[in-house]
Amino acid sequence: MNPHRRTAVAAGSLFLLTEVAAIAGAVLYRPLLGAADGRLAQGADTQALLGVLCEVVLVVAVAGTGAALFPVLRRHGEGLALGYAFGRLLEAAVIALGIVAVLALVTLRRDPGESAGADAALAAVHDWTFLLGPNIALGLNTVVLAYLAYRARLVPRFIAVLGLIGGPLICLSAVAVMFGAYAQLSAAGSVAALPVFAWELGFAGWLIAKGFGPGTGAVSGVKGASAG
């Protein structure tokens, strides 16, 4: 396997890992964040800590996608490639802030008599980081990557178009949530997230199965070296 093929497989695998870790974290957090009376059900704190571990993996995977793709993307626009790499770092940092809020919330909910309303504030911090990170930052990063993928033919263009549609759509959905149109976790929010979800799965699956497209500098560079 040549280095560019390994890069494609690594990037695709990291994208799949972000999906698995994000979904697992969201599911595991629900008993903690949904404890309206401020008291945890038995085992909910352990479950939330497992969710934290999933989101630590998510932070590493999100940052890793930017680092893994940068050598390929820079051939097609160094400024945008840098923007994507730093955008993914920003997204990871916002998610990490949400992790800290959840850890603090676990501590307070273990002794609810001492929380004095701080637990509700920490739950709100997590909800806002979820909105700003895996929604707005993700949407903006998706537009940059999908544009480069479309222009450089990293993947078939119909896959890139999913990203060009899904990125703005999830940003608009986040703004709608911000102004109270509907809840973050709702039918409308899920529908708005579907194109970006399909884009990431399609992008990851193509990179793992086929590698970078024939129009990229990565592939042409390998062929040129072989011919020489």
Q: Is the pLDDT of residue 7 over 70?
A: yes
Share of the chain above pLDDT 90, in %: 61
| Average pLDDT score, the chain | 86
pLDDT higher than 50, residue 165: yes
Q: Is 97 exposed, middle or buried (0-12, 13-18, 19+ CB in 10 A)?
A: middle
pLDDT exceeds 70 at position 225: no
- Structure-model confidence comparison of residues 9 and 185, the more confident one: 9
pLDDT digits (tens, 9 = 90+) for 13-63: 999 999 999 999 988 988 777 654 555 556 678 888 999 999 999 999 999
d(CA 5, CA 33): 41
pLDDT at site 174: 94
Which of 4-8, 114-118, 166-170 is modeled with the greatest confidence?
A: 166-170
Cβ atoms of 131 and 173 closer than 8 Å: no
Q: Is 135:174 a contact under the CB 8 Å cutoff?
A: yes
Q: How high is the pLDDT of residue 218?
A: 45
Give residue 32's pLDDT: 78
Q: What is the pLDDT of residues 123-137, one digit of tens each?
A: 888 889 989 998 999
> Is 226 a residue whose pLDDT tops 70?
no
Query: Which residues lie closer than 8 Å to 103 by C-beta, 6 or more apart?
Result: 49, 52
Could you count the other beta carbons within 10 Å of the beta carbon of residue 92? 22
The pLDDT, as a whole number, for residue 119 is 72
What's the sign of the alpha-carbon dihedral 134, 191, 20, 212?
A: negative
C-alpha span between 74 and 25 (Å, rounded): 32
Exposed/middle/buried for residue 227 (C-beta within 10 Å: 0-12, 13-18, 19+): exposed
Rounded CA-CA distance 50/29 in Å is: 9
